[in-house]
Amino acid sequence: MDFELSAEQLLLQDSVSRFAADHAGTSADPWKTFAQLGWLAVGTPEELGGFGGPTETLLLMEQFGRGLVRSAYVTQVVFAGTILRAAERLDLLEELTEGRRRFAVAYEEPHARYDPSRVDTSLRRDGNGWIVSGSKVRVLDPSSADTLIVSARGDAGIALVAVPAAAQNLIRHAYPAEDGSDVANLRFDRVRVDDDAILAGGADGLELLEFGIDSATAALCAEALGLCAVMLETTVGYTKERHQFGVPLSSFQALQHRMAEMYIELELLRSMAYYAAMTLQDERDPAARKRGISSAKAQVAKSGRFIGQQAIQLHGAIGMSEEYKIGGYFKRMTLVERLLGDRDYHLRRYVDVSYAAPREAVAIS
């Protein structure tokens, strides 16, 4: 596999890196800038002005992680955009890429434990429209969204429905996540939508939702790569500058061993982040795609937790302070570790998909 980046990819990486450096840790919404730079069109069809795919998303999200850029890019561009593209709703996708409309995905339900197939929210025909009733939890970045893509169970199976964020009888309970990002629980109390709101139904609804989750999970793996790279670099720099007993902390062999282990975990994380992008780029079999993404997220969660915990401990008390940047990276990595499925969920998913595959498709060594 050739990992050499093209000139266009290097240009994208450089432009995102400079943006991330200028906007590190800021709370201002960069959406208009994303639209002007064309980043909302990554992975979309060329007829809509799109370019690139999973590799370009990886390069972009890695730099967002390095700069601790606060944005809804994963949830509103990668997650929602993948669903709209797979549903062939180019009209809505065009509005997204131009920055004229924003989407959030509401799929997780109480007690579902990340499983997108456990859907109790109902979709019922009512005259010339449809009625959506039920609850969703941990909806990511809903406050800035104009439209919610909601999973609901109808007579033909799980459907994906576009519900206006300002719809009547939609009750919202907003709260901040650990890193301050936007999250909400939603209650659909007989919310009415028309026929055009149905994005996918039957067997297609769940498959499109899982494809969107896998694409967003791969993007989170890339963000984790950037977060952990900075945590390691910052820790190494701190131990070189901080002195104890008249010598730098980096001169102590025990601490050198810890940072060597952090480096090993970072390289494991890097390989799995690239593997996740390659899986989306090359794999057409849904079962193989799910195994690839789940194996990547499980390793990223493990490595990310180890790197973050070691970084905080090696920094000592200053690592726990709000004034020092390492805490912000650790909080974000702690959240990324659990977003769209924690390590336990993805290990279980990997096993379930593997055993559900045809016998001849499972390699035995």
Same fold? 7-101, 104-201: no
Residue 203, pLDDT > 90, answer no
Across the range 200-210, mean pLDDT stands at: 88
What are the DSSP calls for 5-47, one per residue?
A: PPHHHHHHHHHHHHHHHHTTT--S--HHHHHHHTGGGBTS-GG
Q: At what angle do helices 286-315 and 343-356 cross, to 10 degrees?
A: 160
- What's the helix, strand, coil split of the chain in %, to 5? 55, 20, 25
The CATH H-level superfamily of 205-361 is Butyryl-CoA Dehydrogenase, subunit A, domain 3 (1.20.140.10)
Q: How far apart are CA 217 and CA 79, in angstroms?
A: 9
Q: What's the whole-number average pLDDT of the chain? A: 91
pLDDT in tens, 308-319: 999 999 988 787
Top mean pLDDT of 10-24, 282-296, 341-355 is at 341-355
Chain position carrying tokens 């915990």? 309
In terms of Cα–Cα distance, which of 293, 306, 308 is closest to 340? 293
Which DSSP category does 320 fall into? G
Helix (H, G, I), strand (E, B) or coil at 168: coil
CATH number for the domain whose boundaries are 104-201: 2.40.110.10
pLDDT in tens, 108-119: 999 999 999 999
pLDDT at 313: 92
In terms of Cα–Cα distance, which of 344, 320, 318, 316 is closest to 330? 320
Q: Which of 53-67, 122-136, 191-205, 242-256 has the lowest mean pLDDT?
A: 242-256
Residue 325, pLDDT > 90, answer no
Confidence of residue 365 (pLDDT cuts 50, 70, 90): very low
Structural fold of domain 7-101: Butyryl-Coa Dehydrogenase, subunit A; domain 1 (1.10.540)
Confidence of residue 356 (pLDDT cuts 50, 70, 90): confident
* Alpha-carbon distances of 88 from 23, 53, 94, 152, 187, rounded to whole Å: 34, 17, 11, 19, 28
- Rg of the chain, C-alpha, whole Å: 21
* Sequence-separated contacts (24+) of 318-323 with Cβ below 8 Å: none
Type of residue at 273: A
- Cα dihedral 304/326/328/216 (nearest 10): -30
List, in sequence order, every residue forming a beta bridge with 171; answer none if it has no partner: 187
Contacts of 13 (CB under 8 A, 6+ apart): 5, 59, 60, 63
Confidence of residue 25 (pLDDT cuts 50, 70, 90): low
pLDDT at 282: 77
Q: List the domain boundaries for the chain.
A: 7-101, 104-201, 205-361
Q: How far apart are CA 361 and CA 294, in angstroms?
A: 18
pLDDT in tens, 256-305: 999 999 999 999 999 999 999 999 987 678 999 999 999 999 999 999 99
In the chain, the percentage of residues whose pLDDT exceeds 90 is 76
